[in-house]
Structure 1
Amino acid sequence: MKNQNNILEDKNLNVQQKLDELKNEYKTTPELLGDLCSPNDPTNTEKLEKIGGPQGIAKTLQTNLRNGLPHEDLKKNVDERKLYFGENKFKEPEFKDFWELFKDTFNNPTLKILIFSAIISLILGATVEDPKAGWAEGTAILIAVLIVSFVTAIKDHQKGMQFREFNKIRNNTRCMVIREKLYGKYEIEGVKQAISIHDIVVGDIVSLDPGSKVPADGILYRAYGLKTNESFLTGKSDEVRKTPNEDCWMMSGTVVTQGEGTYIVTAVGKHSQYGKIMEKAIGKEDINTPLQDKLEIMADQIGKLGLYSALLTVIVLLIKWGFKLYGRINEGQNFEFHDLVEITNAIIIGITIVVVAVPEGLPVAVTISLAYSMKKMLQDNNLVRKFESCETMGNVTTICSGKTGTLTKNQMNAVEGYFFGKKYDAQPNKKNLNPMYYQLLIKNIAVNSRAYLQYNKSNQKNRIFGSQIEGALLLLLLEKWKEDYESIRKKHHNENSFVQSIPFSSKRKRMSTIFEEENGNYLVFCNGASEIILDKCSHYINDDQETILDSQAHENFFKGINKMASSGLRTICLTYRRVDSNTCDERWVKNIDEIEKDLTLLSIVGIKDPVREEVPKAVKESQNAGVTVRMVTGDNIETAKHIAKECGILKEDGIAIEGFKFRNMKTEEKKKMIPKLQVLARSSPEDKYDLVTLLKEMGEVVSVTGDGTNDVAALKHAHVGLSMGIAGTYVAKEASDIVILDDNFQSIVLTIMWGRSVYDNIRKFLQFQLTVNVVALITSFLAAVFGQGMPLKAVQLLWVNLIMDTLAALALGTEPPTRDLLKRAPYKKSSPLLNGIMKRNIAAQSVFQLIVLLLILQFGGKFFDLNPLDAQDKLHLDCIVFNTFVLMQVFNEINCRKINDEPNIFKGIFNNWIFCGFWIGIILIQVIVVEFGGSFFSTVHLNAFEWGVSSFLGFLSIPLGFFFRLIPATSD
């Protein structure tokens, strides 16, 4: 032990020595840098000037504002920074440990009364009733309560661990940093790369785009039209313009709404502004879902019914005890302490009935089913951010899906187009292009873009990061024309020439970049949707010279655009314009529309994005499931129609319409058209929001996909918002309910299947538990009323309660989904939890079980050759009743696997090893309880004949269930 302590001390000493070394190396502290970005602190500017501005910070932190952290010994460098400045992780919500949860289970008033009564029973039984064995029942009840509490604590602990795991996955987003890096055959300085926000370190150079989250505190030193939303920190909802000279404080947790920028990280984790707030405001997430709320109401109602039944049972038992005592007193006998045992037993039975009747397993079953489904959905590339969305997705009636990356592969390639007025049916050779205008074209592609490529050595291909359309043009530049786009970009992306960048948005359908040339004038590059940009052009390059774009040329280009679009190609116009210095006010354009006109057309490029092979089948499955799929896209209508037909979305009688036409229609006209609307092209964010609103008003349950900042309103407004994990911005993901990690429509269909599975699994459990409740309550009450004694003892009822609330919830709540779920229409929003089919099944099985149990109680003595008047034989008969009751529940659990009158209840049973394991486990434990429970469980040894009869009666639940399903019942 002493040696171990010495080792620990040495380790701590080594860490401290390293920290001292790093402190001397950096000559600053995490706390000092953490205070640089304090909001509303007037001394921030003085602190920044004292340290030497961004350049001084970079020097102190031994990084480079242009290239980022040095490539040499990068891992060691990052590890040291994490050790000294801290990691970019935050304190997690506190979850109770297992023993705290175990202690919390005893706060239940019913359990407290049951424990108190059991202790009284134990004392009276051991001292008055039977000094040798009278203690057994009270002790058995206490042990049963401990087991139930232990299992409940395990469930709650696992639930907490699962939520913690999902929070980690949900909060682990990615961001763009600039670090020195070598890739492929090109040696590039300061290459952008996507890393986890948890891997950000002090000294990193972070690149920001619209919709991205600021991952750590820092100082901005380059910005182009950058604005952020800081409401999370400051409470002010107004967008804040960020510039290196005025407001350069970048605070973690804020969101970029416009523009782009680059900043150096000064504080991470607990030292950042977000971290400081999280330290104070950390809390546990509310996990209740609408279905849980419904079930809690139902559980409360059933619990009240159980309470009334328990009170009636206790009253009947006490009345009978009173008459019995009265008769004895009339016969001259005195009151004995033994009489207290009967009172205590009556109270224990009543309380146990309440414990059994209160179906606390219903909300638990939702949690189990959701946790299981969410874990499995993650394997299917669906990250559920809001638990209720998993349920809602099962009842979705319409999906408004985007096109790019969702229905298509998002693997774009420039395949044909017009270059300097001439049509090429394939990528042109640069030798055939005019050198002067070729330089303008490659400069346009390189600098009017935020995408970048990274070479993958394993498959020897370049991977696109950012816009796939921009990436397709970069691939044309790099792979076909062998041009180094990075060196071109860096040459112009500097403070001397760069003026302004207006990023692409789904509303504008274009993007622009403005540079100052050496002569003091400005060069504008504007690229975007072909038919929109073409209308802004006044000239084009023709025969190697700039020519006026007359109506005939405009019509020819427009026909070419439509022809390419009709074959499924996305088309993009690349243009330029030179303007004089008077157009810009202090190197800033206030009215960009004045710049984006009188453009000169350089090229119209046709970009191919093939449909995913699996999408037509997935669309067909959705339609068979009663879900209408609509394509809502910003693409040209001809491109959209071609892809929609290829996917199976656009039918012969379907309507495809452009956003501006939809926008100008009256509300009533829209509602009449919407049932046949299948494609909405060239749509704006407002069009998508309007469509979602109208669909909701028409009673549809709407799911909508989105990936950009402009999609936030529609994502929030829909019943279920689906963001894209690859192409989606941070803002879109935060606004969504589910993140589709692979951006694939097929994964969206799987969310429908899982959503329906969750809902059905809860109903399966509900059908099972209510049958047990009804039979247990009525049997106990009738036996007490008609003088049969209590065939189901308190400890036996607690075992039954364990079967209902925990084991059955796990078995039925984890049934995996099948494709059969996609062969029926979604449930209506007004559909009750208990439909006609379920009510019929519960009633029929309950009547059958009650008849069997009452027949055994009434005639079992003769059938099994037992004398009910003999105490031992009565115990034996009660054990048969208990065993038959449990086995009927076990076999009925198989019936409950199906709730929609499916003929084959065994279909897929072996695909759920959890169900099979628990089903076999319950039987094995039942055998142990009956054969070895003895006085603890009030059971005796049963012979083979008695086991055979109990098993046969239990098995009868299955064939009778088949005949019960022939009785007509409504599914609503």
Structure 2
Amino acid sequence: MWNQKITEEHRKKLLLAKNAFSKHMTKIKFEVSPEELSSLHELNDKTNPEKLEKMGGAEGLAEILQTDLQMGTRKTEKERKYRDRKKHFGVNRFKEPEFKGFWPLFKDTFDDPTLKILIVSAIVSLVLGVTVEDPKTGWIEGTAILMAVLIVSFVTAINDYQKEKQFRELNKVKDNITCTVVREKQEEEFEGEGEKLAISIHDIVTGDIVVLETGSKVPADGILFYASELKANESVMTGEIKEINKTPEEDCWMISGTEITQGEGKFIVTSVGKHSQWGKIMEKAKSKEEVNTPLQDKLEKMADQIGKLGLWSAVLTVAVLLAKWGFRLYTKLNEGEEFVFHDLVEVVDAVIVGITIVVVAVPEGLPLAVTISLAYSMKKMMEDNNLVRKLESCETMGNATCICSDKTGTLTKNEMTVVAGYFFGEKYEEVPECEQFDEKYLDIFVRSIALNSKAYFHFDEEKQKDVVMGSKTEGALLLMLKQWKQPFNKIREEQENLIAKSIPFSSKRKRMTTIINHKDGYLVFCKGASEIILDKCVMHVNGENLDSLDEERINKLKNVIEGMASNGLRTLCLAYRYVDKNNFDNFLEEDPEKEIETQLTLLSIVGIKDPVRDAVPQAVEDSKSAGVTVRMVTGDNIVTAKHIAKECGIYTEGGLVMEGFDFRHMTNEERLKIIPNLQVLARSSPKDKLTLVKHLKEMGEVVGVTGDGTNDAPALKEANVGLSMGIAGTDVAKEASDIVILDDNFKSIVIAIMWGRSVYDNIRKFLQFQLTVNVVALSTSFLAAVSGVGLPLKAVQLLWVNLIMDTLAALALGTEPPTKDLLKRRPYKKDASLLNGIMKRNIGAQSVYQLLVLLGILKFGGAFFGLDPLVAEEKLHLDCIVFNTFVLMQVFNEINCRKINDEANIFKGIFNNMIFIGIWVGIIIIQAIVIEFGGSFFSTTHLNTFEWGVSTFLGLLSIPLGFVFRLIPAKGDPQ
């Protein structure tokens, strides 16, 4: 334990250091020069320990930084909110990557070569129109195209900006993890230690005292002054995967970004944020790396193929138009007419149409739809307690076939209380009153809980009650002492300085031991897994006496443990031992596990209840109906695990329950045989979990794994989707995971599956919609050009269609919320095509219908509507009807595209997505404005009620025809 008193030698060094370090520091305000700051930040240089020595070590630093190593940062009038420290020493944040603002993104949209050509062509059209055609009206088409390009670029920039903003918000949230610090209590008169507080790492200041424990991530640079069996993994800084022993005497330098793999400790913060070792590395790697998700890769490949098809369609269309123009020009010249500059207008118009077809055909909306859907889903998943750290995990989670779940906190509430037990020789079905116990042994029992524990209570202002910080199991024991009105806090404050050694709990040892000085010897307090501790006991407290544990008594105790476990209780054994110093002079320097954790005396076996979360049984049932197998992987004993698994619905008749010991001693072939039936793996180690995950992936499963401990990190990384716990999870586990379950609830995992499936289905909905528009737009333009009826869809109109098809449809269909129906189907296979048979049928059938309608209007519309296509104004009127009908057919078909699996009711849940409703209504309103008021700008004219009615009817007909088309047999996704 750290000695608070500073030696005389250190005091002299401290005075020199203070004079050298700062002449202007006061108790109220820091005034620090750049040179002084530099010397402080250089303290964490292991190669130059003399600098730390000159400062007077951790004690000297505490004086310089106006910090008490026991109490934490001192209170002064200007430091209550630590503003002064942040001002002079910096904040514990790293400089965010450069994010482009709206205008740079808007400028970037014009880097597209196709748009550049379209702009040049529009300018040529504008010049020719004004100089050759008609100075009064010739400017309209070129200007309209330029305006349309600006609108498309503007909307694209807005979407890109929203995407950048989403990534920025995600980075802020995922980096905001908590740590424990010691800060001075509010009471003015207080002796002992300061108050332990869980705060954001961003709120850490230079001079803070940070508490480390197994699984912690070091949040800033600092100097260690207390350690117990402390080991750190510094591979992120050194590249060497090796556990480093950390002690105040030998290796006291704590480096930000490194991980604590064992033990506990405390250090004083010397450098934060950009001044820390990790911050300096971050400064050198500012660039933001964006990696495509697998679905984005698939869609970009498809977009490339569709774009090439559009390019060839455009080339053929332009070729046909130029051939006809050439034939007419040849005929004109043969008839003796002269070539005039006006003849070039038709060539420019043909090129503009061709380029516009390319713009429409290139489905830039596909990757945009992925971004919109993922960004929207990530935001909504946060509301459902799922923090998505990696984009691709959204998609992968939707196709998960297997979930390996922890028990405590995930399937259960993690609200542990002692409800039964074996106390001092007697079994109790309920927790008894403590007055009946012998005072001597009750005192030892209370001290064993108070001192052999790291959990503590923190008053939650929001909940207005004390909440357990740290291990919930230890918290259950503290709650029992609180119920007994035992002063465990006072015991800690008064006796913590008596602790000689502490051996922390680990998943391998499954126990924790604390050794304290006691009279002429040591008291050894040990607690842990019942079967392990009981095996080390030779005596037990029986009332007021100590009796030996014979075979009959041991069997009785084993029955007690099994009885509590069969009722779903977690059992914990508490024992102690007194050791004479004369007999064990050197055991603290040796391995105490072999010497001291033997010959124990049993105090108690407690039964801790952690009730199953109310929503878990239904969530497990939903998972099963969705084709997702749920397995429980827990460190609990096999009886407790089986009981809880049965209560959750995980364990069913005929399922296999196995212990980790048996599992790990099987051959690979044996494990592969039993895994399909394995439902519960009890008493498992993190290595067992990793082995199970690897085998499941070998079998072709898409695996999701939950974990909360540091040792779970390998399994979380190995899994297709790693799901860490937001409450109980260590920083290391969260760092290794893809999704953080903020409420540690299995129900949230099922919601993540729903959202993942929703993302995938939403992309397919958009794909079905866009391909229909593409096929119809390209086919109509080409056939109209070949047939000689003239292009019905003008460049500006096609750009408006492009806006509907790409941006607005992506937003409308990409934000469809998930429904319970998504859990009624099995996951899609990895190699499943983006387009299944049902989607191909829908695209084909709707495209044929729309083409027939548009070509029918072009061919017979003149007679039907009483228009003469040979008259320019009436031809414009007929083309306007074609354009209006085309858009309305897309608008109504968008409703069809809400469903992609032959669902009968395409309107189901439509009002759950007000974004869809808003965009759908908005497109109709804008279309009406374009038709009625667009005039020469959009090449439109007023339509009467009858013409509007026909256009609307033909568009609306897409919906009943959709029902008919769904009667045509088609293959769905392979199951």
Corresponding position: 1:544 with 2:548: no
Do the aligned residues in 2 keep the contact of 1:505 with 1:710 (CA within 8 Å)? no
Q: Work out the CA distance in 2 between the residues paired with 1:583 and 1:839.
A: 80
Letter in 1 for 2:965: F
Q: Is the 8 A contact 1:212 1:255 kept in 2?
A: yes
Per the alignment, residue 565 of structure 1 pairs with 565
SS in 2 for 1:367: helix
**Structure 2 letter corresponding to 1:330:** N
Name the CA distance, whole Å, in 2 between partners of 1:24 and 1:491. 31
Structure 2 Cα separation of the partners of residues 635 and 21 of structure 1: 54
The alignment status of 1:51 with 2:55, answered yes or no, reads yes
After superposing the two structures, state which structure 1 stretch, 389-398 or 591-600, moved more. Answer: 591-600
For residue 254 of structure 1, the aligned residue among 251, 258, 268 is 258
Contact 1:37 1:44 in 2 (8 A): no
Map 1:140-539 → 2, pairs under 5 A: 140-181=144-185, 189-456=193-460, 461-480=465-484, 482-494=485-497, 497-519=498-520, 521-539=521-539
For residues 452-477 of structure 1, give each alpha carbon's deviation from its aligned partner in whole angstroms, at most 9, with x where no partner exists. 11244776643111111101111112
- Corresponding position of 1:599: 600
**Cα deviations by residue, 1:534-592 (Å, 9 ceiling, x for unpaired):** 12222222343333322211111000000001111100011223445575758334363
Which residue number in structure 2 is paired with residue 728 of structure 1? 729
- CA drift of 1:227 comes to 1.5
Task: Give the 3 Å change call, closer, same or farther, for CA 161–584 of structure 1 in structure 2.
Answer: farther
Secondary structure, aligned partner of 2:159: helix
Q: Any conservation in 1 of the 2:30–2:84 contact (CA below 8 Å)?
A: no
Cα displacement (A) at 1:181: 2.8
Q: Is 1:755 equivalent to 2:756 in the alignment? A: yes
- Inter-partner Cα distance in structure 2 for 1:685 and 1:458: 35
Match of 2:613 in 1: 612
How far did 1:739 drift?
Answer: 0.2
How far apart, CA to CA, are the structure 1 residues paired with 2:706 and 2:607?
Answer: 25
More off after superposition, 282-291 vs 858-867: 282-291
Q: 1:693 to 1:186 in 2, by over 3 A?
A: farther
Matches within 5 A, 1:932-947: 932-947=933-948
Could you tell me how far 1:593 is from its partner in structure 2? 4.1
How far apart in 1 are the matches of 2:192 and 2:457? Answer: 11
Contact 1:71/1:181 (8 A) holds in 2: no
* Cα separation, partners in 2 of 1:329 and 1:56, compared to 1, 3 Å: same
Please point out which of 137, 143, 153 is paired with 1:139.
143
The 3-state SS of whatever aligns with 1:728 is coil
Question: Structure 1 residues 73 and 644, CA, compared in 2 at 3 Å: closer, same or farther?
Answer: farther
1:6 paired residue number:
none
Question: Alignment partner of 1:607: what SS?
Answer: strand
Match of 2:632, SS?
strand
Match of 2:704 in 1: 703
Q: Distance in 2 between matches of 1:768 and 1:259?
A: 58
Q: CA deviation at 1:165?
A: 0.8
The Cα of 1:24 is off from its aligned counterpart by 8.4
For 1:233 and 1:311, locate their aligned partners in 2 and report how far apart those are by CA, in whole Å: 56
Q: TM-score, normalised by structure 2?
A: 0.94
Between the aligned partners of 2:167 and 2:697, the Cα distance in structure 1 is 31
After superposition, the C-alpha distances for 1:633-681 in whole angstroms (9 at most, x for unaligned) are 1111111111111111111122211111122223233222222211111
Cα deviation code 1:1-57 (max 9, x no counterpart): xxxxxxxxxxxxxxxxxx988698446557635644648846742222222222222
Deviates more, 1:507-516 or 1:876-885: 507-516
The number of residues matched between the two structures is: 949
CA displacement 1:368-401 (0-9 Å, x = unmatched): 0000000010011110000000111111111111
Contact 1:38–1:273, Cα closer than 8 Å, also in 2: no
- Cα distance in 1 for partners of 2:445, 2:478 equals 11
Cα distance in 1 between the residues matched to 2:681 and 2:46: 50
CA distance in 1 between counterparts of 2:242 and 2:518 reads: 35
Give me the whole-angstrom Cα distance separating, in 1, the residues matched to 2:190 and 2:679.
46
Cα distance change of structure 1 residues 800 and 219 upon mapping to structure 2, 3 Å threshold: same
Task: Measure the CA separation in 1 of the matches of 2:727 and 2:190.
Answer: 26
**C-alpha distance in structure 2 between counterparts of 1:208 and 1:598, whole Å:** 31
The alpha carbon displacement at 1:146 in A equals 0.7
Q: Is the 8 A contact 1:39 1:234 kept in 2?
A: no
Residues 363 and 436 of structure 1, relative CA distance in 2, 3 Å threshold: same
1:872-891 correspondence runs (5 A): 872-891=873-892
- Residue 99 of structure 1 aligns to a residue in which SS? helix
For 2:648, give the aligned amino acid: C
Percent identity, aligned pairs only? 68
Contact 1:451 1:470 in 2 (8 A): yes
User: Given that residues 500 and 589 in structure 1 are in contact (C-alpha distance below 8 angstroms), is that contact kept between their aligned partners in structure 2?
Assistant: no
- Structure 1 length-normalised TM: 0.95
> 2: CA distance between counterparts of 1:177 and 1:914?
45
Measure how far apart 1:134 and its partner are.
1.4
Aligned equivalents of 1:273 and 1:429: distance in 2?
Answer: 53
Unaligned runs of 5+ in 1: 1-18
* Residue 507 of structure 1, CA deviation: 2.6
Summarize deviations over 1:700-740 as a string: whole Å, max 9, x none: 11101000011011101111110000000000000000000
Relative to structure 1, the CA distance from residue 460 to residue 384 in structure 2 (aligned partners, 3 Å threshold; closer, same or farther) is closer
Shift of 1:162: 1.1
Residues 466-489 of structure 1: CA deviation (Å, up to 9, x unaligned): 111101111112232x22223323
Q: Which residue of 2 aligns with 1:799?
A: 800
Matched to 2:577, the amino acid is R
Change (3 A) 1:42 1:814: closer
- Partners of 2:645 and 2:822 lie apart in 1 by 25
CA distance in 2, matches of 1:305, 1:676: 49
Q: In the aligned structure 1, how far is the partner of 2:580 from the partner of 2:566?
A: 39
Hey, what's the Cα distance between the residues in 1 that align with 2:852 and 2:793? 16
**Does residue 1:871 correspond to 2:869, yes or no?**
no
Distance 1:652-1:35 versus aligned 2 partners, 3 A rule:
farther
Helix, strand or coil at the partner of 1:181: coil
Cα contact 1:29–1:85 (8 A) shared by 2: no
Q: Name the structure 2 match of 1:670.
A: 671
AA of the residue aligned to 1:86: G
Q: Is residue 44–residue 221 contact of structure 2 (8 Å, CA) maintained in 1?
A: no
CA-based RMSD: 2.1
Whether the 8 Å contact between 1:26 and 1:60 is mirrored in structure 2 is no
Question: In structure 2, what is the Cα distance between the partners aligned to 1:200 and 1:559?
Answer: 50
Give the partner amino acid of 2:486.
Answer: E
* 3-state SS of 1:843 partner: helix
Residues 126 and 762 of structure 1: is their aligned pair in 2 closer, same or farther, counting only changes over 3 Å?
same
- Counterpart of 2:8 in structure 1 is none
The structural deviation recorded for 1:75 is 6.2
Instruction: State the AA in 1 paired with 2:133.
Output: E
Following superposition, the deviation at residue 320 of structure 1 comes to 1.0
Q: Which structure 2 residue ranges, 5 or more long, are not aligned?
A: 1-22
Following the alignment from structure 2 to structure 1, what is the Cα–Cα distance between the partners of residues 904 and 760? 20
Secondary structure of the residue aligned to 2:49 is helix
Deviation, structure 1 residue 324: 1.0
1:905 matched residue in structure 2: 906
How far apart, in 2, do the equivalents of 1:415 and 1:31 lie? 60
**Residues 826-846 of structure 1: CA distance to partner in whole angstroms, max 9, x if unpaired?**
111121111111111000000
What secondary structure is seen at the aligned counterpart in 1 of 2:617?
Answer: helix
Over residues 872-900 of structure 1, what are the superposed CA-to-partner deviations in whole Å (9 max), with x where a residue is unaligned?
Answer: 11111111111100000000000001111
